[in-house]
Amino acid sequence: MAATPLFRRIDVAPAYQKVADAIEREIINGRIKPGEPIGTEQQLVAQFGVNRSTVREGIRVLEEGGLIRRDSSRRLQACLPRYNKLATRLSRALILHEVTFRELFETSMTLEVASVEGAVERATDENIAELAGNLERSAAVVGNPAELAELDAEFHVLMAKASQNRVLQLAREPAAQLFFPTTEMIVGGVPEGGARLIEAHRHILDAIKQRDKEAGVLWTRRHLQDWRRGFEKIASLDRSVEHTYMEHAYAARQ
Amino acid sequence: MAATPLFRRIDVAPAYQKVADAIEREIINGRIKPGEPIGTEQQLVAQFGVNRSTVREGIRVLEEGGLIRRDSSRRLQACLPRYNKLATRLSRALILHEVTFRELFETSMTLEVASVEGAVERATDENIAELAGNLERSAAVVGNPAELAELDAEFHVLMAKASQNRVLQLAREPAAQLFFPTTEMIVGGVPEGGARLIEAHRHILDAIKQRDKEAGVLWTRRHLQDWRRGFEKIASLDRSVEHTYMEHAYAARQ
DNA sequence: AATCTAGCTTTGTCGGACAAACCGATAAGA
DNA sequence: TCTTATCGGTTTGTCCGACAAAGCTAGATT
């Protein structure tokens, strides 16, 4: 720490970055609310006094960050960042860091248990109805690993939603996005895999209905341990989430 | 699901998005490794056959996503997304969603406990040395809430690092970024707040050294409960993380 | 009144241009 | 010989102007 700095640190960020920062500030501190228009590119050009190309680069930054989007008619508006999109970025990062399935499993175990605890405490009737709907649809496709895996992922998303904790919802999503795509392989590869999965879901839902935290935690643990056993028949937990595997997960995104 | 779709879904993404996607694919599946150059804008223009403005918009997207950056001489290269940067995006999103401190607290409790459990199991000598160093520096500034708060945040980052679980490291970061900036107010507002914080850190570090999981969890819980009690003297847990509050957190980022 | 049509606006893309910063290599000086 | 200065050639950041396609608006038509 220099004593009494003589000069202020000079700011040499490129113009497009300053444009993005300026708009971001307005959104973050609430002067522009989600859903409200940002203005046309022409207006931004006039306000910032920079070229349209520069404005557009700034817009791309904000768009990728999820802070703004184009509505049906391509006009710019502020918006709430979608968990899904953010989580995709994170999943991507985890893949590049070559994390192992053990890390994913351990973290998911923690977060899913927290999730079910929250759901047991705070699930609304509507949450329970959604979970019940999911369970019903799952039972109908017990023999179809692909569809069952998708419904399994949805079940866990609904459970996190039922916990009424949005921080938890966001925190669990990246791991889940990487974790659940393997479900298909596992359900398909284990005899009675589909049936066991649905049984676990049923017990979890019952526990949430009964507000029975212990049962909820117990069956969530079992459910994930089942996944683990299935996975270990295929590969080591210490294998890293691979690049090639990612191509799957990516094809599914919109 | 339509039976035998006659036409393939046509792709109408703008060109800059396609450019970004194309480069992203190469990085994700490992054909371009972190640290390797992407090529100059001119080369990309030639390869993709689009205008430089278009290429630049694509680059902005990838840059914001953390997949590429400019090295010292501004040349483009692939890179591993920094947890810090990603977490900042997430924190931003949580603020816009107006999550409450209760949600933050609950999730942080879960993640910090998981973190200490991992650290007790797997901390290396180096991890322990880092934590000890942090503790020593903390003891030296026990009367200075601002510096102590910063060191507290660092302590928890080091703990997560010691857990050797990168997924956990990433998952806890967003909540922590919002959670810990309040530490300063709380430490400053509670008598003996600084001393209690350091005592908790000391016990946690001891537990990690002794590989005593119970003690580690116990003191981590206490540590966070202390924060909670301090916070509730100032405000309700059900208050949302506010826009104005964010301006603080933002000023600190680089 | 509902529909159609003809502008006007806005976005996405293109081409070219130029200053500033950076790189590499050569020339000049100790 | 080693350091310093100079000078082109690249590359990025920014600017200007232009145009086609798609949406919106409002007047014209049935």
Q: Give the C-alpha distances (Å, rounded to integers) separating A114 from A145, A217, A228, A230, B108.
A: 27, 8, 18, 23, 11
In the predicted model, is pLDDT for residue B11 greater than 70?
Answer: no
- How close A165 comes to chain B (CA, Å)? 5
A107 contacts B65? CB cut-off 8 A = no
pLDDT at B105: 96
Give the Cα separation of A146 and A180 in Å (integer).
11
Domains assigned to chain A = 15-78 (1.10.10.10), 84-252 (1.20.120.530)
* Chain B interface disruption, residue of A101, A120, A163, A167, most B CBs within 10 A: A167
Q: Is A212's Cβ below 8 Å from some Cβ in B?
A: no
Mean residue pLDDT across chain A:
90
ipTM of the complex: 0.88
* One-letter identity of residue A99: V
In the predicted model, is pLDDT for residue A250 greater than 60?
Answer: no
Instruction: Give the A window 78-137 contacts with B, CB below 8 Å.
Output: 80-81, 83, 86, 89-90, 92-97, 99, 103-104, 106-107, 110-111, 114, 118
What does the pLDDT look like over A181-240, one tens digit per residue?
889 888 888 888 899 999 999 999 999 999 999 999 999 999 999 999 999 988 889 988
The residue with greater pLDDT, A4 or A44, is A44
What does the pLDDT look like over B58-73, one tens digit per residue?
999 999 999 999 887 7
Helix (H), strand (E), coil (C) string for chain A: CCCCCCCCCCCCCCHHHHHHHHHHHHHHCCCCCCCCECCCHHHHHHHHCCCHHHHHHHHHHHHHHCCEEECCCCCEEECCCCHHHHHHHHHHHHHHCCCEHHHHHHHHHHHHHHHHHHHHHHCCHHHHHHHHHHHHHHHHCCCCHHHHHHHHHHHHHHHHHHCCCHHHHHHHHHHHHHHHHHHHHHHHHCCCHHHHHHHHHHHHHHHHHHCCHHHHHHHHHHHHHHHHHHHHHHCCCCCECCHHHHHHHHHHCC
Q: Which nucleotide is nearest to B75 (CA to C1')?
A: D11
The residue with greater pLDDT, A129 or A73, is A129
In the predicted model, is pLDDT for residue B81 greater than 60?
Answer: yes
Residue matched to tokens 């649905």: A198
Range B27-48 average pLDDT: 92
In the predicted model, is pLDDT for residue A95 greater than 60?
Answer: yes
Q: Residue A5 — pLDDT band, cuts 50, 70, 90?
A: low
pLDDT at B5: 55
Range B3-19 average pLDDT: 73
In the predicted model, is pLDDT for residue B213 greater than 50?
Answer: yes
Residues of B in contact with A175 (CB under 8 A): 167, 171
pLDDT at B1: 46
A167 vs B67, B104, B166: nearest CB: B104
pLDDT at A249: 55
DSSP character at residue B9: P
pLDDT at A253: 45
The residue with greater pLDDT, A11 or A104, is A104
| Residue B28 in tokens | 């994700």
What does the pLDDT look like over A111-157, one tens digit per residue?
999 999 999 999 999 999 999 999 999 999 998 999 999 999 999 99
Q: Residue B193, SS3?
A: helix
What does the pLDDT look like over B145-202, one tens digit per residue?
999 999 999 999 999 999 999 999 999 999 999 887 889 888 888 888 899 999 999 9
- How close A60 comes to chain B (CA, Å)? 6
| Residue B243 in tokens | 């826009």
Backbone angles phi, psi at B238, to 5 degrees: -85, 5
Q: Which nucleotide is nearest to B17 (CA to C1')?
A: C12
pLDDT at B12: 76
Range A15-40 average pLDDT: 93
Please, what sign has the CA dihedral across residues B162, B165, B167, B172? negative
A63 contacts B29? CB cut-off 8 A = no
Give the Cα separation of B80 and B66 in Å (integer).
7
* One-letter identity of residue B227: W
Residues of A in contact with B224 (CB under 8 A): none
